[in-house]
């Protein structure tokens, strides 16, 4: 029987939990700027073989996104024809070797009802290749400082570091609000793939960020190449949302929310094989090696910490930690996740005002399986998790415990592929053992972990 909400409610206790769950609910709500926005304006086209003196039609496309931005208005869509866009010049020049430059600068905003879209032409694959940018400073492949902009179905690759006087460069840098990044494939960046430096209400959905490595960072090779990051400078109560995303083979972390002045929410996302440099038979250890780094301020106390919420997500074979509180100073909400064979599956270390370390977090319906286990759980609000219930899980509780196949092609609409991996098997000890948190579920109660017994991810 399919049940959208149990008639029996489970009271979760402290006042801080109510506030945290409210933040999670807000994060789950749709953002004003939607990639499915129906009120679209005229369409124009760009192609690697185009000409900015053309009319921007499908057969007479423009050559550059910069020219397209000059021409568009809120509600317009710019379609990128297939092929490789090989960039050799940035918008600006390095003022110094420690400067940063933009290659594509999206500065023109749409509106909440009429965003400006930059999307792949139907059935085509545009590849934005920044490897030809050889300037001697830091590089932002795409800098989105505008609001209400949508980037959709684009591949971004090849952003380089200019020297070893700085830390990372960036594939997609975000400083605007209410933008949507939908079905992006960002990879082989010398730094972070998608990096939100400022802004709130941004949505990163159904996107992949992988195989990023920063060999020339001044703090050490591999120390700053995350898959996804949200590190906002301006305080806000509106979260940046990550939904249906995958991060793998990144030298540092899969998802990193350190030093963020606004909240972030993650749901239905996967992180694996982070904290290594790939490309050899034996991957080299590198970076921090976390699947999901949920905040923190460099290990010191900050009274302005925001709540991070993560649900129905998977972390496995991350070198150091699967889910890491990273000394965060307020309790994060961690619900219906699965951690498997990480260095540590869940580490809830927090920092008190006097610098004391202790456990902090609100954990429900989570699974810890295989090697890794738990660290610094004393002090957390932990209920109805596999460890609280004393479950002795084995491979027989899952349809598969394979670490292969997680990078399989997405569904045509961009959703994650349907895999048997880490889903409950018939008769599993995970089935109907959770508490109702307001997500959809089947049966008499929610199952533990990221997936329901019928194979469908929760929370959709």
**Domain extent listing, the chain:** 1-25+308-460, 31-39+93-293
SS3 233: coil
* pLDDT tens series, the chain, 460 aa: 333 333 333 333 333 334 444 444 333 333 333 444 333 458 999 999 999 999 999 999 999 999 999 999 999 999 999 999 999 999 999 999 999 999 999 999 999 999 999 999 999 999 999 999 999 999 999 999 999 999 999 999 999 999 999 999 999 999 999 999 999 999 999 999 999 999 999 999 999 999 999 999 999 999 999 999 999 988 889 999 999 999 999 999 999 999 999 999 999 999 999 999 987 777 899 999 999 999 999 999 988 889 999 999 999 999 999 999 999 999 999 999 999 999 999 999 999 999 999 999 999 999 999 999 999 999 999 999 999 999 999 999 999 999 999 999 999 999 999 999 999 999 999 999 999 999 999 999 999 999 999 854 444 4
Class of CATH domain 31-39+93-293: mainly beta
Neighbours of 100 (CB within 10 A): 19
In sequence order, the 6+-apart residues with CB closer than 8 A to the CB of 296 are: 257, 258, 259, 325, 326, 327, 328, 329, 351
Non-local CB neighbours of 210 within 8 Å, separated by 6+ positions: 186, 187, 193, 227, 246, 247, 248, 249, 250, 407
Cα distances (angstroms) measured from residue 349 to each of 140, 295, 388: 33, 11, 18
Helix (H) or strand (E) run with residue 74 in it: none
Q: Report yes or no: 326 and 310 within 8 Å, Cβ to Cβ.
A: no
Q: What is the pLDDT of residue 455?
A: 53
- Cα 102 off chain centre by: 22
In CATH terms, are 1-25+308-460 and 31-39+93-293 the same topology?
A: yes
User: Which pLDDT value is given to residue 17?
Assistant: 38
CA distances from 408 to 188, 193, 380 (A): 18, 19, 36
DSSP code per residue over 27-49: HHSPPSS-TT-S----EEEE-TT
What is the separation of C-alpha 228 from the centre of its chain, rounded to a whole number of angstroms?
Answer: 5
Query: Strand locations in 251-351, DSSP E?
Result: 255-256, 264-267, 270-272, 276-277, 284-285, 290-293, 309-311, 314-316, 321-324, 333-335, 338-340, 344-347, 349-351
Residues contacting residue 212 through CB under 8 Å, at least 6 positions apart: 171, 186, 187, 188, 189, 190, 191, 192, 193, 225, 226, 227, 249, 250, 251, 252
Dig out the tokens for 408 from the structure. Answer: 């399989």
Whether the CA torsion 46, 51, 53, 59 is positive or negative: it is: negative
Mean pLDDT of the chain: 90
- Supply the pTM of this predicted model: 0.91
| CATH superfamily label, 1-25+308-460 | Single-stranded right-handed beta-helix, Pectin lyase-like (2.160.20.10)
Contact 364, 427 (CB under 8 A): no
* C-alpha triplet 321, 326, 330: angle, nearest 5°: 135
| Helices first, then strands: H and E counts in the chain | 2, 38
The two three-digit tokens of residue 347, written as one number: 């580490």
Neighbours of 8 (CB within 10 A): 8
């Amino acid at each position: 029987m399919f049940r959208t909400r149990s008639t029996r409610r489970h009271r979760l206790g402290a006042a801080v939990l109510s506030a945290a769950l409210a933040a999670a609910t807000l994060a789950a709500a749709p953002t004003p700027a939607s990639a499915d926005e129906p009120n679209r304006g005229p369409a124009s086209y760009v192609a690697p073989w185009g000409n900015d003196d053309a009319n921007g039609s499908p057969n007479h496309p423009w050559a550059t996104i910069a020219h397209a931005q000059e021409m568009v208005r809120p509600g317009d869509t710019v379609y990128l024809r297939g092929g490789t866009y090989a960039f050799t010049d940035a918008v600006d020049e390095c003022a110094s070797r420690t400067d940063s430059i933009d290659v594509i600068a999206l500065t023109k905003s749409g509106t909440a009802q009429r965003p400006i879209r930059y999307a792949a032409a139907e059935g085509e694959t545009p590849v934005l290749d920044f490897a030809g940018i050889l300037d001697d400073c830091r590089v932002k492949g795409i800098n989105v400082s505008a609001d209400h902009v949508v980037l959709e179905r684009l591949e971004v690759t090849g952003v380089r570091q200019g020297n070893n006087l700085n830390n990372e460069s960036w594939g997609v840098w975000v400083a605007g609000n209410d933008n949507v990044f939908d079905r992006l494939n960002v990879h082989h960046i010398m730094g972070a793939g998608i990096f939100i430096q400022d802004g709130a209400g941004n949505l990163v959905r159904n996107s992949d960020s992988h195989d990023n490595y920063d060999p020339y960072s001044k703090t050490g090779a591999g120390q700053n190449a995350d898959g996804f990051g949200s590190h906002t400078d301006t305080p806000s109560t509106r979260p940046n949302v990550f939904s249906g995303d995958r991060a793998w083979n990144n030298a540092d972390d899969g998802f990193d929310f350190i030093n963020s002045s606004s909240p972030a929410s993650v749901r239905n996302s996967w992180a694996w094989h982070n904290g290594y440099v790939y490309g050899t038979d034996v991957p080299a250890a590198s970076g921090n090696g976390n699947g999901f780094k949920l905040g923190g301020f460099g290990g010191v106390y900050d009274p302005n910490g925001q709540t991070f919420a993560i649900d129905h997500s998977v972390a496995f074979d991350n070198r150091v930690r699967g889910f890491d509180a990273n000394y965060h100073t307020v309790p994060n909400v961690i619900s219906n996740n699965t951690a498997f064979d990480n260095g540590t599956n869940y580490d809830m270390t927090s920092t008190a005002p006097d610098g004391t370390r202790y456990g902090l977090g609100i954990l429900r319906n989570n699974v810890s399986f295989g090697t890794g286990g738990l660290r610094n759980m004393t002090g957390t609000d932990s209920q109805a998790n596999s460890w609280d219930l004393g479950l002795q899980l084995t491979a027989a509780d899952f349809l598969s415990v394979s670490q292969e196949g997680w990078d399989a092609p997405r569904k045509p609409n961009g959703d994650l592929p349907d895999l048997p991996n880490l889903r409950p098997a018939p008769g599993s000890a995970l089935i109907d053992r959770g508490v109702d948190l307001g997500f959809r579920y089947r049966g008499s109660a929610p199952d533990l972990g990221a997936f329901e017994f019928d194979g469908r991810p929760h929370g959709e």
